[in-house]
Amino acid sequence: MGSSPALDVRGLSCAVGGRVLLRDVDLTARSGESLAVMGPSGSGKSTLLACLAGLLPATAGTVQVCGTDVGALRAGKAAAWRLRTIGFVYQFGELLPELSAVENAALPLLIGGTGRRTAYATAERLLAELGVAEVADSPAGVLSGGERQRVAVARALSTRPPLILADEPTGALDEQATDDVCALLYELPRRYGTTLLTVTHNPSVAHWADRRLVLRGGRLSESADV
């Protein structure tokens, strides 16, 4: 990964079903930097994350993540690359409810071929570091929203990816849990050197980031406010 920026997006455009959702987007992020992207519902925030992760092809422009040209990844290699490189956190945790917290957190490692013993030990350590050791063996379906998000962060971190993409990670939480999860998320760059890109409607979540951007009409710009 060397000195490549964590994110280097140039002239990214994306159209789906004939509708242009992203227009000529430029975005760079240093390793260890935190960014928040705000924008009205339907402005293309989740679409942007999908393009960054190579889940949606660009119609123009390039996306580089830690020096890798995402658009040039072969289909067979993209999933393994994504597993190593990007951790995802979504609005509701998106855990598998019948699996325990530790099984959920270990899943990316198990999928990537790490042995069970190492995968579970890593997941348990992360749950402890993120303050949810006591629910490690509980089925994910019974956890509170805040606990779910902590487990989701542990899962996102399990493969030690250089980049975390968080899509409305606090959208389902009350004010206190939002603050707790933000404290945790925005500590990741310092604690693990991870680059963090959060998409949010909530100005008090965006406030935690090093840099804030706004997506409007498919265009991304730096935000002076918040």
Ligand X SMILES: Nc1ncnc2c1ncn2[C@@H]1O[C@H](COP(=O)(O)OP(=O)(O)OP(=O)(O)O)[C@@H](O)[C@H]1O
Minimum Å gap between C-beta 67 and ligand X is 26
Q: Which residue has the tokens 């991304």?
A: 220
Choose, by CB under 5 A, the member of 4, 13, 46, 138 that binds Mg ion: 46
Beta strands at 34-38 and 195-199: parallel, antiparallel or unpaired: parallel
Q: Which residues here bind ligand X, judged by CB under 6 A? A: 16-17, 21, 39, 41-47
Whether 177 and 149 have beta carbons less than 8 Å apart is answered as yes
User: For ligand X, which is the closer residue by CB, 57 or 193?
Assistant: 57
Minimum Å gap between C-beta 158 and Mg ion is 24
Identify which range of 42-50, 107-115, 122-130, 212-220 contacts Mg ion by CB under 5 A. 42-50
Nearest one of 40, 53, 43 to 22, comparing CA atoms = 43
The number of CA neighbours under 13 Å toward the Cβ of 109 is 23
User: For Mg ion, which is the closer residue by CB, 166 or 177?
Assistant: 166
Identify which range of 22-30, 40-48, 127-135, 218-226 contacts Mg ion by CB under 5 A. 40-48
Sequence-distant (≥ 6) Cβ neighbours of residue 43 within 8 angstroms: 215, 216, 217, 218
**Where along the sequence are the contacts to Mg ion (CB under 5 A)?**
45-46
